Amino acid sequence: MHTNELFAKKTVFSFEVFPPKRDIPVETVYPTLAELSKLHPDFISVTCGAGGTGGNRTVEVAAHIKALGCETAAHMPCIYLTEESALQNLKELKEAGIENILALRGDEVPGRERAHAFEHASDLVAFIKEKEPDFNVIGACYPEGHTEAKTLAADIRNLKTKVDAGASELISQLFFDNALFYRFLERCEIAGINVPIEAGIMPVTNKAQIERMVTLCGATLPIKFQRAIAKYGDTPESMRDIGIAYAVDQIADLLANGVDGIHVYTMNNPYIAKKIAEAVKTLL
């Protein structure tokens, strides 16, 4: 099923997971997937390794999710893809029965040379829609702007290009300030971006995680969350519970304001995903 069809019927609730590292058997993630599927998300997306590595494992994990009776979407970073390798990826996904692709530029790996076949995610979106138009293509968006974008206005223009190329829905990067997300939605509407946009929510459960996310993504931390981290950040169980509570509060506000969907970055932690799903299930 194409995940973009879900938005006409309901507020979408989905998860993200990642495959195990290459030196760990892929089957080690299967119990986690089984637990997550019991929460009945609308779909589960599967990341690809840094720089587009681990593509086969992405397909394996996505295929297992399908076998569990849950819809899935496979991430496809393009920064190191040639047209030939992109076509091979599409072939493998098609053979595995996977219908949804999250097209991304992907992160650069130091010392590795870019392929230059796809300079931007929008190039990959257009390529997929030209070569294999039956795939549903999802795009990523950045409520606070991509870290490499010169201005937020320029980033919105790039996003419009991605949608015009064929992205039928968008999933946002994590954010912690809902007001910034609402302003982003307004800018999208003004720009004529009219596809569904899922809000990406990252439950922050330890102090090191939040520091890493802020560094990588440039996410703004509201004062009340900064205070909570300062008070509970050195107590693991308390920080976990505060992170879950903050994510639930974020989601409740987003749902009350009519967001198209919620995409939870689970970090492969079924306990956290379950706590959040149970807390918001009556709101969806």
Of 5, 16, 71, 186, catalytic: 16
Report helix, strand or coil for 2.
coil
Task: Output the pLDDT for position 147.
Answer: 87
The predicted-structure confidence for 162-216, as pLDDT tens digits, reads as follows 999 999 999 999 999 999 999 999 999 999 999 999 999 999 999 888 888 888 8
Mean pLDDT (the chain) is 95
Task: Output the pLDDT for position 52.
Answer: 54
Q: How far apart are CA 223 and CA 252, in angstroms?
A: 19
16 given a catalytic annotation: yes
Exposure class string for 59-88: b at 16+ Cβ within 10 A, else e: bbbbbbbbeeebbbbbbbbbbbbeeeebee
- Type of residue numbered 92: E
Task: Output the pLDDT for position 217.
Answer: 86
> Is the model more confident about 245 or about 210?
245
Q: How far apart are CA 180 and CA 158, in angstroms?
A: 19
Exposure class string for 232-257: b at 16+ Cβ within 10 A, else e: bbeeeeebbebbbebbbebbeebbee
Q: What's the pTM value of the predicted model, to 2 decimals? A: 0.96
Give the CATH number for residue 75. 3.20.20.220
φ, ψ of residue 43 in degrees (nearest 5)? -165, 165
The predicted-structure confidence for 119-162, as pLDDT tens digits, reads as follows 999 999 999 999 999 999 999 999 999 988 999 999 999 999 99
Give me the number of domains the chain comprises: 1
Q: How far apart are CA 16 and CA 160, in angstroms?
A: 24
The predicted-structure confidence for 146-156, as pLDDT tens digits, reads as follows 988 999 999 99
162 neighbors 188 (Cβ within 8 angstroms): no
| Residues spanned by the domain of 27 | 3-283
